[in-house]
Chain A
């Protein structure tokens, strides 16, 4: 049997053994200086001991607390669940744990960084330990660790990661989806439509005479037009549609579960609204028109790129026919 006590009692015989009472004082002072809560319960879950950390954080009077049931002293505790957990510690003689990641806190304790965190209460990691003493009495020690900092930084990290993920999908100028995310989405929607035999349509659109517009109003004028047109179109779409900036002045819309009739109708509406809404730049009205090409997924395409090609050809046709209009890819007869 290894000497399990070597850490608490000096082995060497040349030193006088430290007085038992001195040891007790050391232990009790350490317990009270700890930056964690220590709470000891008897087998009926009545409080036997608590340390200074808990006293100052709960603002409760020690005389009233000792001997009280933990559920009376801390009415915020989930009684059924915690009783079961405490029983497991006693019955199985094993430690039990509760992490802030599953339960933000058990005890409603204030924390020391109230301004920068979003929770009113201290985030906690709790450990429940079985304690056996000489007289055969059994107790449970609850250690309450303040992990508000760790919790706060973890939350910030997650928020930042979500923001970065969002930024990586967005076109900086127009605030709609960028080419990469739009294409990834199309790849997924294509696979989904194929697997479930669902409809899928695509609209590709291009601003008419955008070069001329840039020449007349400068690049800032051109940018303004791109932003305004994106906003106008966004307002016409359903949540499930994916609108992205495909290239310089070319845009594309993925329309899940939509046939060509629905897509053509939407394309006409976009065409009309852009043409009839004057955009104001430097107190001047700019008239903008768009050309649109529509294609519906058919048996013909063997990949999503082929669908883009068909919508693009339709867009080219709309340009050839004089712009400010909608053309659709020829229907494939099944």
Chain B
């Protein structure tokens, strides 16, 4: 237990905020994609930096990772990573309503990632009276070798990451991906402060 760990109350509060954000985001997505979206309750874990490195480097057949930075008021900032397995990416173009030959697979992954990240984080930010801006999403090349290198070369040091497992089931398409939110140390302190405020208001 160190100063960056969330208390049990804070953890519960965060889980609840994320559930609500996920629910609203998937509702918006369903309307945009014009199909039913079934959403399982997202599982949330806070992961130590070291642990995450090990998990990610062991993860087999990771097809692609899309990274997108976000930043808002009160020092809330971080980076979201969306991880796709090879079998997840077959019908993204169909899902997005594009013609398959209209855009490359890279662009499909970037587009869906950006939509998932920003829709979810926007609603999350509203819950805590914040507003986020985003960097352009980037596809990390040659995932297998690059991922742990990328994590080591982050512009900030982070020792806690929020791993949010999103599982979207769409009626006509099955679609899966993992979202990992990397939060730098300083931002964790800020998030804890915000969570405490939300808890007080209840």
Contacting residues, chain B, for A99 (C-beta < 8 A): 110, 136, 138
Q: Say whether A78 contacts B102, CB under 8 Å.
A: yes
- Which residues of chain B (99-119) have a CB below 8 Å from chain A? 99, 102-104, 106-107, 110-111, 114-115, 118-119
Q: Is the pair B32, A93 in contact by a Cβ cutoff of 8 Å? A: no
**Cα–Cα, bound, A97→B135 (Å):** 9
Kindly provide the distance from the CB of A136 to the nearest chain B CB, expressed in whole angstroms: 18
The interface residues of chain A lying within 8 Å CB-to-CB of B73 are: 2, 4
Task: Assess whether A4 is in contact with B118, with CB atoms less than 8 Å apart.
Answer: no
Nearest-neighbor residue (CB-CB) of B130 within chain A: A2
Of A81, A88, A92, A127, which one neighbours B136 at CB under 8 angstroms? A127
Which residue from chain B places its CB closest to the CB of A102 in the assembled complex? B107
B96: Cβ under 8 A from any A Cβ: yes
A195, CB-defined interface residue at 8 Å: no
Q: Are B29 and A84 in contact (CB under 8 A)?
A: no
Contact B129 A95, beta carbon cutoff 8 Å = no
Q: Is the CB of A95 within 8 A of B118?
A: yes
CA distance A115 to B129 in the complex (A): 50
Contact B129 A81 (CB under 8 A): no
Q: Which 6 A-B pairs have the closest CB atoms?
A: A94-B118, A97-B136, A102-B107, A2-B73, A91-B32, A81-B102
Binding site for A on B (CB under 8 A): 28-29, 31-32, 73-74, 96-99, 102-104, 106-107, 110-111, 114-115, 118-119, 122, 129-131, 133-134, 136-139
Q: List 24 A-B contacts (CB under 8 A).
A: A2-B73, A2-B74, A2-B129, A4-B131, A80-B98, A81-B103, A87-B32, A88-B115, A91-B28, A91-B31, A92-B29, A92-B32, A92-B115, A92-B118, A94-B122, A96-B111, A96-B114, A96-B115, A97-B110, A97-B114, A102-B106, A102-B110, A103-B107, A125-B136
